[in-house]
Structure 1
């Protein structure tokens, strides 16, 4: 075992709704061919690491991405609701334009003033960050000295990175967006 615990935090591959600029939240759309290729590239990029275990969101796009990355390797997989994307309630399945027209103030908050986003029927960024970070902290505590693959979602990952880089949610826009199929490594000493 290593002296360091590594979490390889992967955003799922591109989906049909990503291409259509639709907000997915807890709803799902299938991976595109490009999304499948992104997952295979991630598999190749991680080829030099021994992955000991995987954690994944229950949403199909994350599950499909994970399946392509581990490609029938005998790796224990834990499905975690805490790794889901932000719940966007009434906005799920709608285009950015539709959400702008339906609620311009919350649209601005969602994209530029995340700490103020509070759409009825949706999760706040703080609620999202709390549950994702709680799950990652549990993984760090339970998987000491291992390399752990975690497949999650755009805003969920970005909110987690904000926590680990001490970036307040009010500055979330300053962080780069995780790209489909790409990963970030979070490390913690054993």
Structure 2
């Protein structure tokens, strides 16, 4: 058996619906998000997780807690799993961002925000740190955020930075599964549990 990591994105928030950059702003799940978290928990419980950790932001923590309650596990909190900081863009819509910072919008680099390589590194390091606490057949669920998880997965897999955009985003309460093999981590599933609806995230826009 191999150690596995399930990377679970949080449920929907009002700012997701309004296409606002959330970043480090602590926005709660809305009613739809709470229902999504419950649905994801009911599906992921069958994988028999042995450990759960979440971002310190409540939209991710509440998503993790829904699973924790169902499977009888405590949910640890690690700030290193929080979303990419959005600097001056937090709370703004994509239309407001593109109008105010057209060049930065194309590069998806917020003034005062967190650089992409820094996010990828902190999330990947945290994944390795928590995976090291697992038994050989353990399964860790990380409840986190769209951009943070995509970047952390790409870094953990050792993809060169120019290929990171090739890894698509995660829908609300969708997940990816990583497994540790003899030659490192590999991606078994990506964006599983997706419903036929658009992905609303702080991640790079489709432009």
The whole-number CA distance in structure 2 between the counterparts of 1:189 and 1:176 is: 23
Aligned to 2:106: 108
| Bigger relative contact order, structure 1 or 2 (CA pairs below 8 A, ≥6 apart) | 1
Aligned to 1:113: none
Contact 2:124 2:155 in 1 (8 A): yes
The whole-number CA distance in structure 1 between the counterparts of 2:28 and 2:131 is: 30
Aligned to 2:145: 153
The whole-number CA distance in structure 1 between the counterparts of 2:15 and 2:160 is: 29
Aligned to 2:78: 80
Q: What is the CA distance between 1:189 and its match in structure 2?
A: 4.1
Matched, 1:171 2:163: yes
3-state SS, counterpart of residue 4 of structure 1 = coil
Paired residues, number: 181
> TM-score, normalised on structure 1?
0.88
> TM-score, normalised on structure 2?
0.81
Contact 2:65 2:75 in 1 (8 A): no
3-state SS, counterpart of residue 132 of structure 2 = helix
Matched, 1:121 2:119: no
Aligned to 2:203: none
Contact 1:11 1:183 in 2 (8 A): yes
The whole-number CA distance in structure 2 between the counterparts of 1:171 and 1:124 is: 16
The whole-number CA distance in structure 2 between the counterparts of 1:84 and 1:175 is: 19
3-state SS, counterpart of residue 40 of structure 1 = helix
Q: What is the CA distance between 1:184 and its match in structure 2?
A: 0.8
Contact 2:68 2:75 in 1 (8 A): no
Answer 1 or 2: which has greater helix percent: 1
Which sits farther off after the overlay, 97-106 or 70-79? 70-79
The RMSD of aligned alpha carbons is: 1.7
